[in-house]
Amino acid sequence: MKIGYACKTVGVPNTEMKSCILKNVSDSKLMDLITHNLDSLNNIIDYNISQGIPLFRISSDLIPFASHPVNSLPWHEIFAQPLADLGKKILASRMRVSMHPGQYTVLNSPDNEVTSRAIKDLHYHCQVLDALGVGPEHKVILHIGGIYQNKRLSAERFLCNFKHLDKRVRSRLVVENDDKAYNIEEVLDIGVKLGVPVVFDSLHHEINPSPAPRSQADWITVCQKTWQKEDGIPKIHYSQQDPAKKPGSHSRSIGIGQFIQFYQSIPKENIDIMLEVKDKNLSAVKIINCLCGDRDIKTLEAEWSRYKYTILECSPQAYKELRQLLCDKSQYPAMEFYTLLENALNSPREAGNCINAAQHVWGYFKNRATTAEREKFMALLQAYKLSRGTLAAVKGYLRKLTVEYRQSYLFDSYYFEL
DNA sequence: TGACGTCAAGATCCG
DNA sequence: CGGATCTTGACGTCA
C-alpha cells in the first residue's frame, strides 16, 4: 500500500511551481518557467524519496498554459532529457505518480469548443507522463463533468467523447466521483461501460452519496474490481471535512484518529491512498509514520525538530509533554506523538506564547546578528507586543535572517509555514 | 452576473 | 525602495 499527497509541498525549500498571467506569456518566459518548474519537481521527488513517500500527484501547473494556443513551444522535445531523467528517478524509487486536471476540464460539455479544449488538456497531462517514461499504472484522474439538465444524455456524451480519445490517453485515464454531480454509483456505471478504472473519493462520497445502501468499504471493493493488471494497484482519494468551512472543504491536516478509524474499515491489500489535504506532505509523513511499525524514534525526533517552534507557539504545555514523550529511546509512540501535535496545532495561539517562540528562534542569531539587525528584530517584536505590528512581520524577519545566516535547522523547520 | 476553488502573479499601498 | 496587503487571473458550470 502506498500513501501520498497532491501537487505541492509545505515547508520544503525550492519546490514551488511558478506561472504568469496570459498577457505576459512569451516563449522565453515559458522556457524560464518550465525550467524552474522541472527543477522544483526534481526537488519534490528527492524530498519524497528522502521521506519514503511513494505516491505523488504532479501539479498541472508544471507546464504553464500547456494546452493553450499561446504556448506553442515544443516543450515535450526541448525538455525531453530532464523529463526522462526525472522519470528514471521516479521508477528507480518505485514511486507512483499521477496527474489530475481540474474542475474546468470538461469532456462531456455540449459545447464543442469546451470539449475540444478538454481533449487537448487530457493530451497534455498524458504527454507529461509519457515524457517521464512511466507506465500506464501512472494515471490521469478525471471527473465526469456537468449535467446540463439531463444527466443520462450528459453521461452518454462522456462515453462517446471518451471513445474518441487517443489510445494512449485512454490507457491512462481513470474516473472519479465528484461532490456535486456524479456520485460513485453513476461513475462506476460509466467506468464499467468503458472498461476504465474508478477512483473512490471518500469526502466527495460523504457529500454526494449514492442512494444505494452500501458502506464506503463496499464501494471501495466494487471500485477495486474496475482496475485491471495493467492499471496497477487500485487507488482511492481520502480527505476530511474542514469543520469550520463549507461541505467539501479539505481539512488543514488529516486527523490521525479519524484516519485510523477509516483505515481499519477498508481492505488493507491492493489499495493506494492519495491524501487531499492542506498540509500536503506533512499529513502523508504523519500517516506513513503511524502505519509503519518498523520505523524508530529517530523518525519522530526528526519530525519534532521541524514542528517544535510552532508547538511552542501553540502550547508550551504540549511542548513539554512532547519532549517527555520522546525521552524513552526504546519506544516508537507515533500515535501519541501526532495526537499531541494535532491537539496543540488546533488550539488558538496566544500572543505571549508567540513572542516566547520568536525569542527562542532569535536565539539562533543573537550572537551573530549586527546591531542593526538586533534593533530591527526588537522593534518588530515590541510593535507586535503593543498590537502596532503583526506576528507575520516578526516571523518574516526571522525567516529572512534564517536565509541570510544559512541556519539549515531553522530552514527545514515548519515554524514559518504553520 | 457572480459564486465556486486555487493560490501565485500582479497591483497597489505604506512607511 | 522593500515589504505588506489587496485584487486579479484562468478555467466551465450553475443558480
What is the rounded CA–CA span in Å between residue A307 and residue A302?
A: 9
**What number of other Cβ atoms are within 10 A of residue A383's Cβ?**
14
Residues A315 and A375 in one domain: no
Q: For B6, which residue's CA is nearest its C1'?
A: A102
Residue-level pLDDT at A246: 86
Q: How many residues does chain A have?
A: 418
Q: Is the CB of A69 under 7 A from strand C?
A: no
Q: Do A7 and A138 belong together in one domain?
A: yes
Buried b (16+ CB within 10 A) or exposed e, A306-318: bbbbbbbbbbbeb
Residue A109 contacts strand C, CB under 7 A: yes
The CA angle A308-A312-A317, to the nearest 5 degrees, is 110
Within 7 A of a protein CB, which nucleotides of strand B?
Answer: 4-10
pLDDT for A127-140, tens place per residue? 999 999 999 999 99
A145 C-beta less than 7 Å away from strand C: yes
Nucleotide nearest A107, from its CA to each C1': C12
Residue A404 CA, nucleotide B9 C1', distance (Å): 25
Closest-CA residue to A364 (of A395, A393, A399, A407): A407
List the alpha helices (DSSP H) in A242-350: 256-265, 281-291, 297-314, 316-325, 334-346
Per-residue pLDDT reduced to its tens digit, A47-98: 999 999 999 999 999 999 999 988 999 999 999 999 999 999 999 999 999 9
Cβ of residue A31 near strand C, that is under 7 Å?
no
Helices (H), A164-235: 167-172, 184-194, 202-207, 216-224
Q: How far is the CA of A374 from the C1' of C4 (A)?
A: 21
**What average pLDDT score do residues A136-162 get?**
95
pTM: 0.95
**Residue A417 counted as domain residue:** no
* Boundary-marking domain end, from A261, A291, A321: A291
Q: pLDDT of A254-307, one tens digit each?
A: 999 999 999 999 998 899 999 999 999 999 999 999 998 778 899 999 999 999
pLDDT tens digits, residue range A330-344? Answer: 889 999 999 999 999
Smallest CA–C1' distance to C13, residue: A146
Q: What is the domain-level CATH number for residue A184?
A: 3.20.20.150
Name the average pLDDT for chain A: 93
The x, y and z cell numbers of residue A8, run together, are 505541492
What whole-number distance in Å separates Cα of residue A362 and Cα of residue A364? 5
Amino acid whose CA is nearest the C1' of B4? A103
Question: What is the pLDDT averaged over residues A143-154?
Answer: 94
How confident is residue A351, by pLDDT bands cut at 50, 70 and 90? confident
Do A192 and A253 lie in one domain? The reply is yes
Structural domain count, chain A: 3
- The proportion of chain A whose per-residue pLDDT surpasses 70, expressed as a percent, equals 100
* The pLDDT of residue A41: 95
Same domain, A99 and A28: yes
What type of residue is A193?
K
- A327 and A189 belong to one structural domain: no
| Domain stop point among A291, A308, A326 | A291
* HSE toward the beta carbon, residue A313, CA cutoff 13 A: 22
pLDDT in tens, A178-211: 999 999 999 999 999 999 999 999 999 999 999 9
Q: Å between A21 CA and B2 C1'?
A: 22
Q: How far is the CA of A192 from the C1' of C15 (A)?
A: 32
User: What is the spatial distance, in angstroms and rounded to an integer, between the CA atom of A105 and the C1' atom of C11?
Assistant: 8
Report pLDDT digits (tens) over A232-262. Answer: 999 999 999 988 888 888 999 999 999 999 9
A318 grid coordinates: 504540549
Specify which residue's alpha carbon is closest to the C1' of nucleotide B5: A103
Give residue A13's pLDDT.
Answer: 87
Over residues A392-396, the mean pLDDT reads 86
**How many Cβ atoms sit within 10 Å of the Cβ of residue A403?**
11
